[in-house]
Amino acid sequence: MADSDLAPAFLVAMNQLWDPNFRGSVVLMLHHDEQGAVGLVINRVTDLPMASLCETFGFTWRGAPEMRVDWGGPVQPELGWMLLGEGNPDAPEVESLTEGIRYTRSNDVLREVAANPPHHLRMFLGYAGWGPGQLERELAQGAWLVAPASARLVFEGRRDRLWDDAVRSLGIEPATLVQTQGVN
């Protein structure tokens, strides 16, 4: 995948972003280039237990029974994505995004992870996607803040605080943000 200033990074939805799919969201950008962008919403959990998801593929989840699958975005919700920390599994299908964050869509890796879950693991259904120039227009309109990606926030942050924590990572107090139209 091509390098970009936006991938890896967090996109933090500003208040003027009224799209219900992204209102209050933090998106971990996986890819961005002139053809478009792909990311995962990292602060929305579903009611689907990881054990139930694994069961649909015919294998058993051996991790924490309370683990839930996250909602990665509105595009192709039937597609699964995994975020993993460093270490196992070490498979060719697992791509490094940035320090401490790797990702894959491999069912073989999911089978391996289900049998021996690593400490840092998040499973997502769906993703956020933008066509050519779409994300750039939204950024120019002030719909998103861009913050550095952080493995600590991805794997250890509380979902209900991720938006505030991502804003604070920029040295900004969330209560001081003012809605603007951005630059056109």
Name the helix (H) or strand (E) containing 115.
helix 107-115
Report the candidate in 136, 124, 137 with the shortest Cα–Cα distance to residue 28.
124
pTM for the model: 0.93
Query: Quick check: 136 and 11 in contact, CB under 8 A?
Result: no
Q: What is the pLDDT along the chain (184 residues), one digit of tens a residue?
A: 344 679 999 999 998 788 889 999 999 999 999 999 999 999 999 999 999 999 999 999 999 999 999 999 999 999 999 999 998 788 899 999 999 999 999 999 999 999 999 999 999 999 999 999 999 999 999 999 999 999 999 999 999 999 999 999 999 999 888 766 654 5
Distance CA 156, CA 100 (A): 12
Q: Residue 1: what pLDDT?
A: 36
Domains of the chain: 10-150 (3.40.1740.10)
Distance CA 8, CA 101 (A): 10
